[in-house]
Amino acid sequence: MAGNNHGHTPAAWTGVTIVFLGFCVAGVFMVMDQPLGFWAGIALTLVGGLVGLAMKAAGLGQSPRVAQRAGEPQS
């Protein structure tokens, strides 16, 4: 487990932060009974997911790990 960063990358942090803000915006506007603001918050959550994927594609995400077969030495 020494080399596993559990997604602590700029792509993950940025995407999750934007999604969290989107949920907060949607929640506030839902309580205020403002449908337009609610849907704006939902749109912001989708934007957060897209930003995270775009940043991962740009190389700011976690590199995929290659599974090792049983009996092979670790490198």
Per-residue pLDDT of 16-69, as tens digits, reads 999 999 999 999 999 999 999 999 999 999 999 999 999 999 988 887 766 666
Provide long-range contacts, Cβ within 8 A and 24+ apart, for 16-20. Answer: 16/48, 16/52, 17/48, 18/44, 18/45, 18/47, 18/48, 18/51, 18/52, 19/44, 19/45, 19/48, 19/49, 19/52, 20/48
What element of type H or E holds 27?
A: helix 10-31
What pTM, to 2 d.p., does this model score? 0.77
Longest dimension (CA), the chain: 60
